[in-house]
A and B are shown apart, each in its own frame.
Chain A
Amino acid sequence: MTAAPTTLARPPRTPASTAGLHATARITARADAHGITRLPVLDGAGPFALRRIGGHGPQARICVVGAMSAPLGGDRLAIDATAESGAALHLTAAAATVALPGRTGEAATYDVRLTVGDGARLDWLPEPLISAEGSDLWMTTTVELAPTARLVLREEQVLGRTGEHTGTLHSRLTVRRAGRTLLDQETAYGPGVPGWDTSAVLDAQRAVGQLLVVQPEFDEHPAAVQLLGDAAGGPTGESAGQGVLAPLAGPAALVTAVAPDALRLRRLLDDAARYTAAG
């Protein structure tokens, strides 16, 4: 029998899309002789306009501004960001990303590739990804970390805009450190995915997110398990969502949280950030 894969990082092969937008934004952060992070490469592309913000201290701060509505079905989008040895790069976004259906019913892809060198720190803190009804997005986030690299990564997925059903959203997060895989997780939600809205996976929750902190100090002092929101047995009544902060099998802590909506999800992740010394 040929079972359709539900958890691959790629949509089923389709002929090369001609209708969709193909765009890759590129950022390279490099520490200069004074320890100040410079940006020798800062190339926006397609829907990703890159704005330098702040400018105080040695860290480089970039905000990704959505220059158009994307990803639409058929789009092939990517962001490549590298913090070279000793650099500090902080990336945020101006607004949520909304995955929308295209004209052809084709899936969209969105690939984020982050590389962090020794002694470097990368913060990847985008706004939520919203899966609009009828959309079909395959997302990958691939992180390569040097042994003494630091990472703070937040990922939030919201299943459907207010009052609508969710689209289909496949996502894979792979984090490699010093050549070993530290975390490999696939999520698949929405129409055509078996079991995603059951009590083992999301139940009735429509916002799900993660906060990952990798830092060498966790080798000596791993994060302690911390239950969050309803899981911590707070006052019952209106659900605050629930989550857990837990050490991975390596110098990292991962927060996993589910909540009824994006606002309550963010509250859980912000609470958790205080326990991780992620500042």
Chain B
Amino acid sequence: MSRAALLVLADGRFPAGGHAHSGGAEPAVTAGRIKDAATLERFCRGRLHTAGLVAAGLAAAAAAGADPLLLDDAADARTPVPALRQVARRLGRQMMRAARATWPSDALDALAAARPRGAHQPIVLGLAARSAGLTPLDAAYAVAYENISGPATAAVRLLSLDPFDATAVLAHLAADLDRVAAQGAEAAARVATEGVDALPAASAPLLDITAEQHAAWPVRLFAS
């Protein structure tokens, strides 16, 4: 395997469409819940340990070779609002295009054929990691990092936050990232014996509520 593939996969310039999404930061900024670097960090920590943990588990399980269609059902069961299910599938479709061009594999082709409108993005990313020869833990790291780098980048645009401060927020969350990636990979390792119920299902009520609120706005800067 090439560990360098992880840098390609986790690079914010990887053409998978993530830049158009704020990960819930846009409604949180509008509601005054994110207003500076400190409140951005709190938001990102909460998101990481809930939505981020669920995504890390799904990605690690896909990278470990679990059935992606069972994982896709598990992702639906863990995503109670349609706005977030649609976003996950749209991002999954974009990730699929980029992944098949970058690390082509039969497994990616098969999932693309079975889910033409897109599978949940962490599962596609996990399969891409597998195709690239990366480990389940690598996939969990890539997804968990993207889970907070998205809102941090969005906050720079939404608040004119100093990019140095936003990057410092991500650095402050390094230990939390380690923990979430390890938890996701550990749960994924149990899927082979325990089934997908072993995967985390942590929920974040405010992310769910504000995602639907945001989806109803007539004008918005980010798609989600």
Chain A contacts to B: CB under 8 angstroms = 1-3, 5-7, 172, 174, 180-188, 193-203, 205, 208, 225, 227, 231, 242-244, 246-249, 254, 256-258
Contact = CB atoms under 8 A, between A and B. Distances in A.
Contacts of A187: 202-203, 205
Contacts of B85: 249
Interface string B205-224: 11111101100100000000
B29 to A, nearest CB: 10
B157 interface: no
Given A2-B182, A201-B205, A248-B80, 4 more contacts: A6-B202, A186-B202, A195-B42, A231-B212
Given A195-B45, A247-B82, A258 B77 contact: no
Interface in B164-211: 176, 178-179, 182-183, 186-187, 196-197, 200-210
B34 A194 contact: no
Contacts of B42: 195, 198-200
B46 A201 contact: yes
Interface string B14-54: 00000000001000100001100001001111111111010
A198 B216 contact: no
Given A181-B74, A249-B85, A203 B213 contact: no
B5 to A, nearest CB: 23
A184 B206 contact: no
Contact of A199 (B28, B201, B212, B216): B28
A186 B80 CA distance: 12
Given A1-B178, A3-B183, A194-B176, A244 B209 contact: yes
Nearest to A243: B209
Contact of A3 (B78, B186, B206): B186
Most buried by A among B43, B44, B81, B209: B209
B45 A194 contact: yes
A208 B206 CA distance: 10
Interface in B112-157: none
Given A199-B39, A244-B81, A249 B45 contact: no
Contacts of A194: 45, 49, 176, 179
Residues of B contacting A: mostly: helix
Nearest to A172: B201
A256 B208 contact: yes
Contacts of A242: 209
B186 A183 contact: no
Interface of B: 24, 28, 33-34, 39, 42-51, 53, 73-74, 76-83, 85, 176, 178-179, 182-183, 186-187, 196-197, 200-210, 212-213, 216
B222 to A, nearest CB: 16
A181 B45 contact: no
Contact of A227 (B183, B205, B212): B212
B206 A258 contact: yes
B204 A201 contact: yes
B209 A195 contact: no
A3 B49 CA distance: 12
Given A1-B178, A201-B205, A6 B49 contact: yes
B73 A180 contact: yes
Closest 5 CB pairs of A and B: A198-B46, A200-B46, A199-B33, A195-B46, A249-B76
Most buried by A among B47, B49, B78: B49
Contacts of B187: 5
Nearest to B212: A244
A247 B201 CA distance: 18
B34 A199 contact: yes
24 contacts: A2-B182, A7-B53, A7-B183, A7-B202, A174-B197, A180-B73, A182-B77, A186-B200, A186-B202, A194-B45, A194-B49, A194-B176, A195-B46, A195-B176, A196-B46, A198-B47, A200-B47, A201-B206, A225-B81, A227-B216, A243-B209, A246-B208, A256-B209, A258-B205
A239 to B, nearest CB: 11
Contacts of B48: 195
Contacts of A7: 53, 183, 200-202
B28 A200 contact: yes
Contacts of A185: 78, 80, 201, 203
B74 A200 contact: no
A198 B43 contact: yes
Given A174-B197, A194-B49, A201-B50, A244 B208 contact: yes
Contacts of B43: 198-200
Nearest to A247: B82
